[in-house]
Amino acid sequence: MSKTSKLENLRHDAQADVNAVRQKITKLDADQIDLILTGARSHYAWQDRPVSEDLFKQIFDIMKMGPTSMNTCPVRVTFVRSKAGKDKLAKSLKPANVPKVMSAPVTAILAYDTGFWTELPKLFPHEDRRHMFEGKEKHIEDTAFRNSTLQGAYFMIAARAIGLDVGAISGFDNSVVDQEFFNGTTMKSNFLCNIGYADETALFQRLPRFDFDDVCKIV
């Protein structure tokens, strides 16, 4: 079979797969949307319940299917649950965030790999686009940061979708996390995210949000 014929078959299969999903489900219902976004809350207090490695893998397998530009997939996730790991994280945290992290069953470091572009032959196999990044440090950094942030959002939605709660944290020193966890690598931290089962007694009222007309326009 020629390369062109193989690609055509792959395209046909992909289109059939999407059509099959659309035949099965066209949209989430209101309760499902409540679970992942509209009814969900960020949490910073936690029940003393473990989160299994199987759930880590479920989150990843959902998250990885979210779109990134050119399928670059730059996010790298470190699940920190040991006391030694939490102690290293604590060095980076603003004081108010220390108890939030130390009490969480797991804190995920959502990081990005500035060497992501070297994996493009695997992730974008039909055309070698490494030349678009090689030697272009700002483009690499912008692409990695932007797309790992997208993947971090998918991570939180995935965790909620399988019944976990999340609490994202940006109040920390990235340079300390990078030194403690990624020294000598091409990885850099983006943000932290606690995951587990929330202690809902610590919740306070939901903070305000903008209305559509406040921040959106149609042109």
d(CA 126, CA 108): 33
The per-residue pLDDT for range 146-205, each reduced to its tens digit, is 999 999 999 999 999 999 999 999 999 999 999 999 999 999 999 999 999 999 999 999
State whether residue 52 is helix, strand or coil.
Answer: coil
Summarize pLDDT for 45-75 with one digit per residue, the tens. Answer: 999 999 999 999 999 999 999 999 999 999 9
The two structure tokens encoding residue 219 = 């042109």
Q: Where are the alpha helices (DSSP H) in the chain?
A: 3-24, 30-33, 53-63, 83-90, 98-103, 120-123, 137-161, 174-182, 212-215
Contact, 165 vs 44, CB < 8 A? no
| Model confidence, pTM | 0.94
Instruction: Answer yes or no: are the C-beta atoms of 196 and 107 closer than 8 Å.
Output: no
Which residues face 66 on adjacent strands? none
